[in-house]
Amino acid sequence: MQPAKLKIKICGMRDFENVQNVLKHKPDYMGFIFYDKSKRYVNEEQVENLLKLNFGTTKRVGVFVNQSPEIIIDFFQRGYFDLVQLHGEESPEDILKLKYEGIEIIKVFSVGEDFNPSILAAYEPIADYFLFDTKGAEKGGNGYKFDWNILHQIDSQKPFFLSGGLQTSDLKVVQNMELKNLMGLDYNSKIELLPGLKDLDEVEKILNN
């Protein structure tokens, strides 16, 4: 059987023209960071402006870090994104509040030396997808990889995104690893010219593969 095509997420976007140009390559997902301590923070004015664009088949992911469910729901109802990525220590209870509003959830786990896969069990019934990122000094966008072999040991049925320092050239390596339930790859700082500004040559290489 032919393996399913990996979904591609381009994260940390905010510049109107850059978003327009990346959209020409039709990524499956585009991430916007609603976390004001990030170098890639997208403010409300920028988000409102981006509403003018036609995203076509590209789903907009709102990335939040320990934000209150009420604020996330308010932004969702304003049409700021299609699904949410929770990149902090959000509790299953808070995530359920978002599910009740019909919001699709990507729950992130930051993987370091101390990663304990038993944390996944509480989120398995409520998240739609998992995303495994590298644990580092920043909440996200650290720009380096974790040891992907740990993913072979995970006992979860959840489709997941792989993230953390991904470069264009990593696609083949990842495919050869045959990671069960891997649904997509998330690219960010390694394909940037500046924080929040993606290199269109790199985007083209990723999405034309």
Ligand X SMILES: O=C(O)c1ccccc1NCC(=O)[C@H](O)[C@H](O)COP(=O)(O)O
Q: Is 12 in the site for ligand X (CB under 6 A)?
A: yes
Helix, strand, or coil (residue 12): coil
Lookup result for tokens 């902090």: 88
Nearest residue (CB) to ligand X, 100 versus 201? 201
| 148: exposed, middle or buried (Cβ count in 10 Å: 0-12, 13-18, 19+) | middle
Residues in 55-74 that interact with ligand X by CB under 6 A: 63, 65
- Candidate segments 14-22, 117-125, 159-167, 176-184, binder of ligand X by CB under 6 A: 159-167
The nearer residue to ligand X, 58 or 188, going by C-beta atoms, is 188
CB of 188 to ligand X, least distance (A): 3
Out of 98, 166, 183, 206, point to the residue binding ligand X (CB under 6 A). 166
Of 59, 72, 131, the closest CA to residue 101 belongs to: 72
Go through 36-72 and write b for each residue having 16 or more CB atoms within 10 A of its CB, e for each that does not.
eebebbbeeebbeebeeeeeeebbbbbbbbebebeeb
Q: Quick check: 34 and 42 in contact, CB under 8 A?
A: yes
Residues in the chain, overall count: 209
Site for ligand X (CB under 6 A): how many residues?
27
Which residues are within 8 A (CB) of 44 and not within 5 positions of it... i.e. 6 or more apart? none
Q: Which of residues 122-151 bind ligand X (CB under 6 A)?
A: 133-134, 138-143
* Closest of 48, 30, 49 to residue 40, by C-alpha: 30
Angle at 179 between CA 60 and CA 163, to 5 degrees: 40
* Residue closer to ligand X, measured from CB, 23 or 42: 42
Instruction: Report d(CA 209, CA 204) in Å as an integer.
Output: 8
Encoded one letter per residue, x for contact with ligand X by CB under 6 A and - for no contact, window 32-51 reads -x-x--xxx-----------
Q: Which residue is nearest to ligand X (CB)?
A: 140
Nearest approach in angstroms of CB 163 to ligand X is 4
The piece of 18-26, 27-35, 90-98, 152-160 that touches ligand X (CB under 6 A) is 27-35
In the set 163, 182, 184, 206, which binds ligand X (CB under 6 A)?
163
Interface residue list for ligand X (CB under 6 A): 11-12, 31, 33, 35, 38-40, 63, 65, 87, 133-134, 138-143, 163-166, 186, 188-190
